[in-house]
């Protein structure tokens, strides 16, 4: 297919004319992904995937490479904006029951899972204290799997602890997975074009659809300017606000941080992991908390498409959002009373409401 034909298909896409601002976040995710890939390629030129050089190579990028600090800060902060857009995009899909577009939804959830893995691998690469211990704790969870867990962990580490072979593998995967995300994103868009976009009313409005260009391209361009403006503000004025201070200390296997935690966008999932006393139970809760989204096209009721017409389901959705924020706060706290009990209570509420038919 020629480039002109592809552009024609995209711009001639029929879209419901009543879609709101929340339908912009899909295109914003594309901008964030492009930003991550572009800045990541520049960082990969100078990064050294060796435990004796990794931390120093990051310092070298920030201090000695021309505009290296700028590229690294864009890459780090754009990851946070990526997950902000991703959570809003998923939330909009849940609120307006977009999972009726089965294949589009399933590929989107798979994309979400791969994005989580990619972001975690990227968090390890600076080889700071929190990077090292987060990698040790999270990858060691696989050992809870009966029979094969310890073997898989040893293979993943390349030995009996997180070491040089582990970093090389994490780096290789972190470099390759964004291109997998890019390919799946194109497939996601392809299925979206096959079925057409959903709309706030949840009705078939194909008779009143309008062309994507120029009505929505202009709105998307305005969204691009806003997201770049927010990113520029973060990078130029508060470049370190979302980075854990422990990660400015070089990794030391002999000194364990008092409180190990992942990046802020993983804190709700991390809180659910910690809420289960059993190690295997925590791993199962961690997996189900995200993978349960795959079941929505098959198990959820679809009599009324939009939650705007169903008060009870709308209330449940906003309670679920509130629970997600509370779990994020709990994930940033130490495992002690009363945070441990609160985490267990809200984890139970999360699974109870997310499984609501």
Mean pLDDT by groups of 10 residues along the chain of 357 residues: 52 66 86 94 93 94 93 94 95 87 92 95 93 91 88 89 92 95 91 75 61 71 89 92 88 87 91 88 90 86 56 85 94 86 92 81
> Could you please report the per-residue DSSP string of 231-277?
HHHHHHH-TTTTS-GGGGSB--TT---SS----GGGHHHHHHHHHSS
| Per-residue pLDDT at 211 | 67
**Residue 244: active-site member:** no
Q: Among 57, 197, 205, 289, which one carries the catalytic annotation?
A: 197
Among 175, 197, 219, identify where a domain stops: 197
Residues 154 and 289 in one domain: no
- Encode burial over 260-274: b for 16+ CB neighbours within 10 A, e otherwise: bbbbbbbbbbbbbbb
Residues 179 and 265 in one domain: no
| Per-residue pLDDT at 66 | 92
Among 142, 171, 197, identify where a domain stops: 197
| Per-residue pLDDT at 14 | 64
| Cα gap 214→91, rounded to integer Å | 26
Q: Among 244, 246, 263, 313, which one carries the catalytic annotation?
A: 263
Kindly state whether residue 223 falls inside one of the protein's structural domains: no
User: In this structure, what CATH number is given to the domain that contains residue 318?
Assistant: 1.10.287.980
**Residue 193: active-site member:** yes
Kindly state whether residue 24 falls inside one of the protein's structural domains: yes
| Per-residue pLDDT at 306 | 54
| Per-residue pLDDT at 18 | 64
Residues 176 and 80 in one domain: yes
| Per-residue pLDDT at 13 | 66
Q: Among 193, 213, 279, 300, which one carries the catalytic annotation?
A: 193
Give how many domains the chain has, as a whole number.
Answer: 2
Q: Among 143, 213, 219, 332, which one carries the catalytic annotation?
A: 219
| Per-residue pLDDT at 43 | 95
User: In this structure, what CATH number is given to the domain that contains residue 144?
Assistant: 1.20.810.10
| Cα gap 111→119, rounded to integer Å | 12
Quote the longest CA-to-CA distance of the chain: 66
| Per-residue pLDDT at 53 | 93
**Residue 220: active-site member:** yes
Tokens at residue 242, please? 């979302």
**Residue 246: active-site member:** no
- Please give the residue range of the domain that contains residue 103: 20-197
**Is the overall model pTM greater than 0.85, yes or no?**
yes
Tokens at residue 256, please? 């364990």
| Cα gap 132→256, rounded to integer Å | 10
Kindly state whether residue 38 falls inside one of the protein's structural domains: yes
Kindly state whether residue 13 falls inside one of the protein's structural domains: no
**Residue 206: active-site member:** no
Asked whether the beta carbons of 114 and 180 are under 8 A apart, the reply is yes
Which residues, 6+ apart, have CB-to-CB distance to 340 below 8 Å? 274, 275
């Amino acid at each position: 297919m020629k480039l002109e034909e592809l552009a024609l298909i995209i711009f001639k896409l029929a879209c419901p004319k009543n879609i709101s601002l929340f339908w912009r976040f899909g295109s914003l995710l594309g901008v964030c992904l492009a930003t991550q890939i572009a800045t990541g390629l520049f960082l990969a030129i100078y990064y050294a995937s060796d435990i004796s050089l990794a931390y120093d190579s990051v310092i070298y990028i920030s201090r000695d490479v021309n505009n290296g600090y700028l590229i690294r800060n864009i890459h780090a902060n754009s990851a946070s904006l990526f997950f902000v857009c991703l959570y809003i995009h998923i939330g909009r899909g849940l609120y307006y029951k977009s999972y009726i577009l089965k294949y589009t939804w399933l590929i989107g959830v798979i994309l979400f899972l791969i994005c989580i893995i990619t972001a975690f691998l990227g968090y390890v690469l600076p080889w700071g204290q929190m990077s090292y211990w987060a990698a040790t704790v999270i990858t060691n969870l696989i050992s809870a799997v009966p029979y094969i867990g310890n073997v898989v962990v040893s293979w993943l580490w390349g030995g009996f602890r997180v070491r040089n072979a582990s970093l090389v593998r994490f780096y290789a995967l972190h470099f390759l997975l964004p291109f997998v995300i890019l390919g799946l994103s194109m497939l996601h868009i392809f299925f979206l074009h096959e079925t057409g976009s959903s709309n706030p009313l949840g009705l078939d409005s194909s008779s009143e659809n309008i062309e994507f260009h120029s009505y929505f391209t202009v709105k998307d361009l305005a969204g691009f300017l806003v997201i770049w403006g927010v990113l520029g503000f973060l990078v130029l004025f508060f470049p370190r606000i979302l980075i854990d201070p422990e990660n400015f200390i070089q990794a030391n296997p002999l000194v364990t941080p008092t409180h190990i935690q992942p990046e802020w966008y993983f804190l709700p999932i991390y809180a659910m992991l910690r809420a289960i006393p059993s190690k295997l139970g925590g791993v199962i809760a961690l997996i189900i908390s995200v993978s349960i989204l795959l079941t929505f096209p098959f198990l959820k009721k679809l009599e009324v498409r939009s939650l705007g017409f169903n008060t009870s389901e709308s209330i449940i959705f906003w309670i679920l959002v509130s629970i997600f924020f509370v779990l994020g706060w709990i994930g940033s706290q130490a495992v002690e009373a009363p945070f441990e009990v609160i985490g267990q209570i809200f984890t139970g509420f999360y699974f109870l409401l997310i499984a609501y038919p």
